[in-house]
Amino acid sequence: MLQIVFSDSECGTLKMATHWGSSSWDVGVIGVIFGEGEKEPTQEEKNQAIAQFKAQREKENRRARPVGGNPGDVLCPSVGLDIGPISGPDVEKARFDLLTAWLGGDFPLPDCDPDDYAQRDMLWEQRQRDRERLLEGGKHGEAVRIWYSNAPYSLCGFYDVLWQLRDCDCPVTALEMPRWMPLEDNTVQSCLNWGELSPGDWAAYLPLEREIPKNVRRAIAMEWSQLREENSPLRAVVNGRLRSVGEDFYDPFIRAQIPDGIFRVAHLIGDVLGRYQLGIGDWWIAKRIQAMETQGELITVSKGDGFYRNEMRRAQ
């Protein structure tokens, strides 16, 4: 069985989840991270945080179960299809350029070589291989299980896979990430996407697996064909459905979180993502903040080591 996800974190975690069990977790090395400009925690505070982390991990370890299957059958055939073009004669180049931008091309990290494209090339080649493997498996009737959520990138990936398999006579099942998931230890889990799960928790969601009937697959493939034809700058989840939207769709969420006075770009991005749980990454929010600056809505007060560390304020 091929198991499909739509982000690198989901792919890596599900690969581990295939064989993860109650004895898989090892304490290893634990680090304590605190924010720039924050006072370093005392040793007592560090010890307390580490103890809480260990207790949580041990609890997760007790309920851990393997998903089963082969890690090599976990595929991530697409990433970020909610952003940028999804059709047209130059779509492959456009998607490749978008990956370059995501991986530091637009907002390079400090002390990183801007001409080092090893990670980009590796990820691009892996996406291509996974896509080919999906189509080859579908043509030969191999079962496909899709793990998706209501996050725009994931729902777009789900639609795209069913579109890719539109002419394949293979069994397809799917698991949609629920808003609330009761677990066997009387706790409740709430995640935005599958990448937030610990490897041992994936198997608890297997009872949610459902077959996707062929008529439903055809209907979803037709919707994706329409979205491909529209080929808008963004696709967002509006009232539970994927819609083509303009590039400024998320701007009202950003404006609502812009504080009075001077603020750091990274803090604004964190506030937007934390407050609204939009299911999108920081890169697009940063691009829109940059656009607001270009349009004169925001002004840079001081430049830091990279765009995220710039300080800004509203234009008067």
Model confidence over 85-138: pLDDT tens digits?
999 999 999 999 999 999 888 888 777 776 778 989 999 999 999 999 999 999
Confidence of residue 220 (pLDDT cuts 50, 70, 90): very high
Listing DSSP states for 85-149 in one string gives --SSTTHHHHHHHHHHIIIIISSPPTT--TT--HHHHHHHHHHHHHHHHHHHHHHTT--EEEEE-
H-helix segments, 178-281: 214-230, 251-257, 265-276
What would the pLDDT profile of 36-87 be if each residue is shown by its tens digit? 666 788 888 777 887 777 776 666 666 779 999 999 999 999 999 999 999 9
Look at residue 24 in the predicted model and tell me its pLDDT.
57
pLDDT for 36 = 61
Confidence (pTM):
0.89
pLDDT at 115: 74
pLDDT digits (tens, 9 = 90+) for 261-270: 999 999 999 9
**Taking each helix axis from N to C terminus, what angle separates 214-230 and 152-164, rounded to the nearest 10 degrees?**
110
Residue 36 pairs in a beta bridge with none
Cα–Cα nearest to 72, from 165, 137, 124: 137
Q: Lowest mean pLDDT: which of 135-144, 182-191, 245-254, 282-291? A: 182-191
Report in angstroms the alpha-carbon separations of 217 from 198, 237, 299. 30, 19, 48
Mean pLDDT of the chain: 91
